[in-house]
Amino acid sequence: MKSIVPLFAALAIAFAPAGQALAAAKDPHAASSPAKSKAKANKARKAKAAGKAGKRVSIKSTRVLKAAPAAAVIDYDGEHHNFLEWQAVRAFMDDVSAQHGFDRAWLESLFGQARFIDSAVQLVKPAPPGKPKNWQAYSARFIEPIRIAAGVRFWNENAETLARAEAAYGVPAEIIVGIIGVETIYGRDTGKFRVLDTLATLAFAYPETPNRSSRMAFFRSELAQTLLFAREHKIDPFSLLGSFAGAVGMPQFMPGNILKYGVDFNADGQIDLRNSPEDAIGSVANFLIQHGWNPEYRGNPATPAEVSPSQAWEPLLERGLAATLRPEELRAAGVVTEAALPAERPYGLVDLQNGAEPTEYWVANDNFFAITKYNRSYFYAMSVIELGRAVRASRGG
């Protein structure tokens, strides 16, 4: 979820201040320090004399692995910056300590272990001007045999939960299946970055772009939400893994959205979007209903349309991600659908550009635009709809 959203393998043990032993155990780069190198070189000589000190190290290491097993096995490039030297980080720690009661010494210990993730900075940079938008090329990445087959398995394995979510929230199973499939191929690719690393990097070192200030404010807010989520669920913040932008779990929720819309749908006392399909399913349904999904609207959220050569309909494309048009307004502008549109509902005109090929036009209702709140893109919303429809058809309706 790019704008909101969306982000948990290790939603488990105690939330406690992290000391130097934790930093060394979690940081693969710590092995490159002189002390570590010397220890490795003398490992055989010292093996027989492990003694009490060795036992203490062993006990601490075991405790670290239990507290954050996923974080202990991460493997990505990240430079160990001293974030504590950055004035903006110190100001942030002052703010969250004052507003939310976090212990300042604990915050310093935490940010003292954070890594700078340059790949996250590079990936959030705007793409260079390239080929024209092409809906057919975009959708081919998602509506394809491997993802459809994975969707059939996911639906079959979670049919009861999907039916329960549909009954509770009014969101069809195929839409939930479509979102989780587009986001992570049903949990296959949820991200391996420590969320705290990526959010700290983007909160204080976002690249120079026209929207830099607003984006840094967003990521600082998400960083604070990560700390709040970890405290509420009594977990180590470093155990939260996600995408390069901090999105977590099968549905790729941002930490703030986990706090707002996450659902403990299996009633085990935790919201685990990484390991629990039940929680992921319930959370996606809850997000959509909170963002305008209307259970009373049955059928497809979008209907193919024809537009007149007069192009009187062009201004209707500038209404934003919302259903604001009455059927008579669409007809008056030369927009025609095969089936009559219910007069009492609002709609929006959607264009799906196809490069050099003709653009496709659709008339969409509130439910289509609810999906765009997950990701602010017509292409995304239509891919969710089409993937869910393809999975449903593949499993026999």
99-110 in b/e form (b: 16+ CB < 10 A) is eeebeeebbbbb
Cα 198 to Cα 313: distance, rounded to the nearest angstrom? 43
DSSP code string of 42-73: THHHHGGG-HHHHHHHHHHHHHHHHH-HHHHT
* Distance separating the N- and C-terminal Cα atoms of the chain: 28
Whether 108 is a known active-site residue: answer no
Is residue 381 within 8 Å of residue 142, measured between CB atoms? Answer: no
**DSSP element (H, E) containing 302:** strand 302-307
Interior CA angle at 4 toward 192 and 297, to 5°? 120
Task: Write down the catalytic residue from 174, 183, 222, 278.
Answer: 183
CA 69 from centre of chain = 21
Residue 254 has which token pair?
């941002």
Cα 131 to Cα 360: distance, rounded to the nearest angstrom? 18
Cα 152 to Cα 150: distance, rounded to the nearest angstrom? 5
Question: How large is the C-alpha radius of gyration of the chain?
Answer: 24
35 half-sphere exposure, CB direction, 13 A CA radius: 3
Cα 323 to Cα 311: distance, rounded to the nearest angstrom? 20
Residue 319 has which token pair?
């209404």
Cα 293 to Cα 43: distance, rounded to the nearest angstrom? 61
Which residues form the catalytic set? 183
